[in-house]
């Protein structure tokens, strides 16, 4: 699969996902937390709002490699990349939505507000056209018969 097809497929599988799990490294341990994705079109970059003084920002400042995990319907995406903190009021305004006031009560004027940009380097995905119930039945059947379950499409995409 070429890069353009891969990016298109990853974008398709992530389409509609509003939350993901961001994993950072704190110098001793991997740390994961849920994040709300702020995205218009996926082009290899992902955007999030955060506070400049958060633990994740401190961790990213020391170790910029991160992982994002998405689950959407019957698909999963694990995306690896490099994270950076961005101060860009125009981009923040472009990405802002009123739902974010739950975490940033003063909107774009919230003190310490920053953007977290993740530039994708690779992604691995698992995609199944079957509903989860059908997938579960297939795993039970495979376990009972000793035959390997069919897990759907699994590919790695390099950005």
Q: 41 has which bridge partners?
A: none
Look at residues 83, 46, 84 and name the one whose alpha carbon lies nearest to residue 66: 83
Which phi and psi angles does 40 have, rounded to 5°?
Answer: -105, -65
CATH number at 78 reads 2.30.110.10
What residues contact residue 138 under an 8 Å CB cut-off, 6+ apart?
130, 149, 150
* Spatial CA neighbour of 88 closest among 107, 123, 116, 67: 116
> Does residue 111 register a pLDDT over 70?
yes
Model confidence at 136, in pLDDT bands (50, 70, 90)? Answer: very low
Q: Are 3 and 158 in contact (CB under 8 A)?
A: yes
Residue 40's pLDDT is what?
Answer: 57
Residue 79: give the domain boundaries: 3-158
Query: pLDDT-based confidence at 77, cuts 50/70/90?
Result: very high
- Alpha carbons within 13 angstroms on the beta-carbon side of residue 118 total 32
Number of domains in the chain: 1
Using alpha carbons only, give the angle 56, 30, 113 rounded to the nearest 5 degrees. Answer: 10
Quote the pLDDT of residue 3: 79
Answer for the pair 39, 97: CB distance below 8 angstroms, yes or no.
no
Place of tokens 């001793």: 28
Asked if residue 13 has pLDDT above 50, the reply is: yes
């Amino acid at each position: 699969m070429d890069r353009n097809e891969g990016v298109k497929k990853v974008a398709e599988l992530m389409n509609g996902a509003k939350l993901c799990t961001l994993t950072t490294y704190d110098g001793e341990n991997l740390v994961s937390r849920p994040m709300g994705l702020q995205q218009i079109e996926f082009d290899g970059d992902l955007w999030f709002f955060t506070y400049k003084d958060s633990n994740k920002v401190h961790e990213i400042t020391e170790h910029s490699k991160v992982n994002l995990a998405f689950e959407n319907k019957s698909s999963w995406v694990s995306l690896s990349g490099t994270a950076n903190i961005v101060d860009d009021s125009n981009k923040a305004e472009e990405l802002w939505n009123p739902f974010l006031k739950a975490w940033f009560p003063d909107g774009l004027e919230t003190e310490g507000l920053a953007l977290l940009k993740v530039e994708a380097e690779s992604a691995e995905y698992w995609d199944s056209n079957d509903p989860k119930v059908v997938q579960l039945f297939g795993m039970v059947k495979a376990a009972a018969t000793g035959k390997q379950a069919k897990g759907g499409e699994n590919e790695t995409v390099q950005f």
